[in-house]
A and B are shown apart, each in its own frame.
Chain A
Amino acid sequence: MTHSDDDPIEEDVLDAYPVAGLNAALEDRIWECFERGRRRRQWLFRVAIATSVVGGLLAISIWASERLVGSRSAGQARVAEGSVNPGAKKTVTLAEQTVAVVDRSADIAWQTKGTQVLVTQRRGRVFYRVQPGTDFRVETPIGSVEALGTCFEVEVTDMSKQAKNIATAAVGAAIASGVWITVYEGRVRAEAEGVSQGDATVLEPGQTAVMEAGVSPRITETPNGDDQATRARLAEARRRLMLQADEIAGLEQQLSQRSEGDGAAEYEEANSKSRFEQEERDTVWASAQELDLEERLDQYMGVEDGVSTTECRDRCCHVELAIEDVGEYYDVFVDFKSDVGIGIGGYRDWSDLQDIHPRRSDDGLGHIYACSRRSGEVREGPDRGAERERMLLEARGAIESCRDQLESELMVTMYVTIDTNGAVSDIDTRAEPAGQPATHCVEQAVLTSARFEPAPEETWIPVRVSLSPGEGQQ
């Protein structure tokens, strides 16, 4: 007996495979999930419009309203306070757009009321970035430091740290105990206790001063203009380094506790892969995350449907990447962990990431495990992936013009750091081959088109441009 293409399987046979009815509650669940995602997208749209119309003021106020803790009812001054004890190095938000990066040895407490912030810094080193217009003051055991600008560092030293500080600052004389102040942007006024008010010292960008009890703060370094720029970059680099050191310390702690731990404690401290494997699926959260991650992989990282497989459970997700080319996999991985992807440690609420490179995995696939904080906080902000796309599109013409300076095929990779105001605060450029004049041209072309919305946290994105004498590609 033969059958043609139009000869379907008999209906009574097909009847043998019925399917149970669909859960009626699913409709509401889907709609709730969709609405939640839509509210987030509408919020992004509002921020984009508001920023373009009123220069970002409205956008900033939206964040301000969401991020201030301990707020009272509308119309009243917002009051918040907190403290960070030694051993818990981290970044804390003190007020709108005002953050402190607190070193592990430091000890601070603060009180915020409206635009007034008073910090008590008892010891250790703290890097401050202050929103202009904030009445910001740091009280130390020796004197006070008042911000007249944006970005500075205060270190309260003790005897045990004396040698190190002296070496770092290249100061010849020994100092028993004091406060070191370094200004990177804006100005600060330092005033030691027991000194008449007229003897306060105002520090300019790039200057470092030491403050001792009963003596007017003394400026120890006044670098030239080039040095100032270098110092500003150094400050950002140091800040990033501190955050990375935090991450390393956290991972080391996880490992040490994991080797000692058991049961529930071990689960809490396990790595992302182990955590993922132990989790049950929370359907609403997991579905939304899978959708988001897959869209980002597809839209911003060039990973098409079928190349990646994403599965999320309760707090963690697993992304499987069928990418054999090592370089290509690495690019996707870097994109993924940057703010184009999930933004580890950033405002998108992901805190932990582990990857198994295709060459190290049994199945030859790349595996990325990432876990979210799921803190419950509203963490919304600009889409750095979309902004990167837009930036490259706008920069295309300018990049094309760089071809005139091209000596051979060129690959430029830039790691662009964006501060909370949306300004590019650092750009780390790598070129292959190095030394071509076109590299600088490409860097400038990209930077000229760089426009980013403010974000609750510092963010970073990789940008890759390849240029060949014949044709250009981004």
Chain B
Amino acid sequence: MTVQAPVEQAPDELDPDTVRAAQRGDEVACRVLYRKHASRVHAFVVRLLGAAASESRAEELVQDTFLRVFRALPRFRLDGPASLSTWVFSIAYRVAVSELRRKRVTASVSRSRHIALVSDEQSDDIARQRELYRQLARALDALSPQQRAVFLLRDYHQQSYQEIATALDIESGTVRSRLHRARAAIRGALQEIDDDT
């Protein structure tokens, strides 16, 4: 199992020629588009679903997202208000939120799949890392999906306020207020670790 960088770098946008080729259904261009965005979409979906996501289910939602992306791609406007990555995130967000509404997703495959990546040695650092993860995941799960999405897009995916507003179809001011509340909740949860230690 490989681990990708936790903070995904915002990719350069695809060049317009590749996007246009993908819009015409060109396989190579579509695959380039997928490779450019897939890991970011996957990370976004996994964290947005939190405890509700099994690994296989998250994968299915990534599949749903890209099927929608490919089908709707001819309608995407290169000169429109959203960049391609913002537009892809907006679709991933709708797919994930729809999944959360199902309320039928089994509560989770153990998080040990993440922890196992760093549990080869028993050390204080690892123990703290594990506790950090547990608190962070719990704090994220306690947020509303909307707050969580804003936080993930801003802090993990470095989207601008305007891009987030476009992706989630909300006002820029709402992005700020949700982000503020999300960060406060997360910092509050992390403070508990410091207090305990």
Contact = CB atoms under 8 A, between A and B. Distances in A.
Contact of A21 (B4, B102, B133, B151): B4
B27 interface: yes
Given A5-B180, A291-B68, A17 B31 contact: no
A377 interface: no
Contacts, number: 125
A263 B120 CA distance: 46
A380 interface: no
A436 B140 CA distance: 59
Contact of A16 (B97, B101, B133, B155): B133
B147 to A, nearest CB: 13
Contact of A311 (B1, B4, B102, B137): B102
Interface residues of A, number: 38
A211 B94 CA distance: 66
A33 B55 CA distance: 20
A26 B58 CA distance: 12
Interface stretch (B10-18, B59-67, B78-86): B59-67
Which one of A26, A34, A305 has the greatest number of beta carbons of chain B within 10 Å?
A34
Say whether chain B's binding surface is mostly helix, strand, loop, or mixed: helix
B180 A22 contact: no
A11 interface: yes
Interface string A26-63: 11011101100110000000000000000000000000
B30 interface: yes
A65 interface: no
Interface in B69-97: 70-71, 94, 97
Contacts of A3: 183-184, 187
Contact of B98 (A23, A27, A309): A309
A20 interface: yes
Given A13-B190, A311-B102, A311-B104, A19 B31 contact: no
A11 B183 contact: no
Nearest to B27: A31
B47 interface: yes
A162 interface: no
Contacts of A19: 3-4, 6, 42-43, 46-47, 114
B136 to A, nearest CB: 5
Interface string B90-123: 0000100110011010000000011001000000
A306 B102 CA distance: 11
Interface of A: 3, 5, 7-9, 11, 13-23, 26-27, 29-31, 33-34, 37-38, 281, 283, 286-288, 290-291, 305-306, 309, 311, 320
Interface of B: 1-4, 6-7, 25, 27, 30-31, 34-35, 38-39, 42-43, 46-47, 55, 59-60, 62-64, 66-68, 70-71, 94, 97-98, 101-102, 104, 113-114, 117, 129, 132-133, 136-137, 140, 151, 154-156, 176, 179-180, 183-184, 186-187, 190
29 contacts: A5-B179, A8-B155, A9-B183, A9-B186, A11-B7, A14-B155, A17-B47, A17-B136, A17-B140, A18-B3, A18-B6, A18-B114, A19-B47, A20-B1, A20-B3, A20-B4, A20-B113, A20-B117, A21-B3, A22-B59, A23-B59, A34-B30, A34-B70, A34-B71, A37-B67, A283-B60, A287-B60, A287-B67, A311-B102
